């Protein structure tokens, strides 16, 4: 069969929608401490894993049996590009909150007639706001965060090194490059977890630490989630390389994950500058 590959009917989308319904309902119930919440969350997550494995497994099998022509490949490229753009806009909402708080909301609270409401509040950044009294220490940029920056930048190099190797069909180097990238990613997550623990136990910096704590944990948290997903995707790619998938000419699965990894990297650089450093 020639032409654009059109998949036959598939049950995975409905399974996915069921999984997300369970997750959503489970989250609502768990938040309100309802007994069924945890169960539904677990069931939803398990169904989601089954769905993702089955669906992506199917796409990989189709790709390996040569059903994806150049036009399908281009569709994947456009699709991944648009998807990463949507992710960027998701982060933009939280960066928007950070900039709004720093440039407009906090200075406003420390000036004009607001002084009558919050006497003695001087603003500045980082701040937990005028109404919260718990002391906290902000996260310093030039410790673990700087090290993490170095780690993620290095991982961008190693993933590109693996990509070059794939294009020259040096499978050993591909595996080594991917392994290094995954190791660096996991190290990053480990350090980030350590940093969170440190923040909660030693610095008094929590989600509830005013606007600084809220933006800090939401931005770094969603970024950490993305690094974790990126690591998982890199592991799948490593397994596929191990299984002999990809050719020097056609390996969009690899490239998509590499794009995603670079995107996560760029987000981190913005985080380092605007959340930790400045």
**Quick check: 128 binds another protein (CB under 8 A)?**
yes
Interface pick for another protein out of 187, 206, 228, 250 (rule CB under 8 A): 206
Contacts of 7 (CB under 8 A, 6+ apart): 58, 62
Considering only the stretches 84-92, 136-144, 194-202, 248-256, report the one whose residues sit in contact with another protein under the rule CB under 8 A. 84-92
Shortest spacing between CB 18 and another protein, in angstroms: 8
94 binds another protein (CB under 8 A): yes
Question: Is residue 175 within 8 Å of residue 234, measured between CB atoms?
Answer: no
Question: Locate tokens 């490229």: which residue?
Answer: 77
Q: Is 21 in the site for another protein (CB under 8 A)?
A: yes
Beta strands in the chain (DSSP E): none
Is position 44 an interface residue for another protein (rule: CB under 8 A)?
A: no
- Single residue of 42, 57, 85, 229 touching another protein by CB under 8 A: 85
Q: Is 224 in the site for another protein (CB under 8 A)?
A: no
Q: Residues 75, 154, 160, 173: which binds another protein (CB under 8 A)?
A: 75
- List all residues 6 or more positions away from 170 whose beta carbon is below 8 Å from its beta carbon: none
120 three-state secondary structure: coil
Query: Could you tell me how many residues of this chain bind another protein (CB under 8 A)?
Result: 69
Q: Note whether 130 binds another protein by CB under 8 A.
A: yes
Cα distances from 153 to residues 51, 147, 157, 232, 278, in angstroms, run 33, 10, 7, 18, 20
Q: In angstroms, rounded to a whole number, what is the distance separating the alpha carbons of residues 136 and 158?
A: 37
From the DSSP assignment, how many helices (H) and strands (E) are in the chain? Answer: 9, 0
The answer to whether 82 contacts another protein (rule: CB under 8 A) is: yes
Exactly one of 136, 188, 196, 212 binds another protein (CB under 8 A); which one? 212
Q: Is 77 exposed, middle or buried (0-12, 13-18, 19+ CB in 10 A)?
A: middle
Q: Which residues are at the interface with another protein (CB under 8 A)? A: 1, 3-4, 6-14, 16-18, 20-21, 24-25, 27-28, 31-32, 55, 71, 74-75, 78-79, 82-83, 85-87, 89-94, 96-97, 100-101, 104-106, 108-109, 117-118, 127-132, 206-215, 217-218
């Amino acid at each position: 069969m020639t032409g654009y590959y059109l998949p036959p009917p598939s049950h995975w989308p409905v399974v996915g929608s069921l999984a997300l319904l369970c997750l959503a309902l489970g989250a609502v119930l768990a938040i309100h401490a309802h007994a069924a919440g945890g169960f539904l969350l677990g069931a939803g997550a398990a169904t989601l894993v089954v769905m993702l494995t089955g669906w992506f497994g199917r796409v990989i099998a189709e790709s390996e049996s040569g059903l994806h022509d150049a036009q399908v490949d281009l569709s994947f490229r456009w699709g991944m590009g648009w998807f990463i753009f949507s992710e960027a806009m998701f982060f933009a909402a939280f960066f928007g909150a950070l900039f709004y708080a720093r440039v407009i909301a906090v200075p406003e609270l420390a000036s004009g007639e607001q002084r009558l409401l919050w006497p003695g509040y001087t603003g500045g950044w980082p701040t937990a706001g005028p109404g919260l009294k718990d002391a906290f220490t902000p996260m310093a940029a030039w410790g673990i965060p700087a090290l993490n920056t170095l780690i993620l930048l290095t991982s961008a190099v190693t993933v590109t090194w693996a990509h070059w190797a794939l294009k020259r069909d040096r499978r050993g180097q591909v595996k080594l490059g991917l392994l290094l990238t995954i190791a660096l990613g996991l190290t990053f997550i480990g350090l980030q977890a350590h940093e969170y623990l440190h923040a909660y136990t030693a610095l008094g910096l929590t989600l509830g630490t005013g606007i600084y704590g809220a933006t800090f944990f939401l931005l770094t948290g969603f970024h950490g989630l993305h690094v974790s997903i990126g690591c998982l995707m890199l592991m799948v790619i490593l397994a596929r390389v191990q299984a002999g998938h990809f050719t020097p000419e056609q390996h969009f699965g690899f490239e998509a994950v590499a794009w995603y990894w670079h995107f996560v990297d760029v987000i981190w650089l913005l985080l380092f500058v605007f959340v930790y450093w400045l």
